[in-house]
Amino acid sequence: MQRWFAVQHRTARHFALGIALTGLALTFLAATLLVFPYKLAANAEVQGELLYDLLGSVEYRTDGRFSAIDDPVVQQQLNALIAQKRLNGNEGAAYILNVQSNEVVWQAAATPLLFEGIVVDDVYTMQFIQTATHQLAVQNFWLKDAGNARLEFRMVVALPIH
């Protein structure tokens, strides 16, 4: 009778050890997913929100260019957003293009990563275009200047696919 109890006790111990190790593995997995930031990757919904957040942080100037809104809090938030999303021109990019002159009128990085030759429809809904390395969120928009002339712009936010 003692042998049967000893065998059953060993099986129960292995079962408890298995449950404990499984719980520990799940705890480490949850901690990894919650603590470490998600990989920067192209996600259409997140990318669209990022485009609108960036566009909401810049304003049109009379010289035909865009700049950060003249508010220290907004400028700090814009710089933090650019750094957090790594829109430095190496991995990701964000810029506003004057459609008529094909000139970059705002950029998130000092040396922007430009995507020339992409085919973009002339519609005012957000478009998602995929290249070999990046997914682009493109938003066309227009403004009227002081002389009531319509100015066409295109904002591009590019995030790496992998």
Distance CA 14, CA 121 (A): 63
- pLDDT of amino acid 3: 59
Looking at residue 140, the DSSP 8-state letter turns out to be: E
The pLDDT of 79-101, averaged and rounded, is 89
- pLDDT of amino acid 33: 66
Nearest by Cα to 68 from 108, 124, 35, 30: 108
For residue 18, the SS3 value is helix
31-86 confidence digits (pLDDT tens): 776 665 544 445 778 888 999 999 999 999 989 999 999 999 999 999 999 998 88
Q: Where are the alpha helices (DSSP H) in the chain?
A: 2-35, 44-55, 72-84
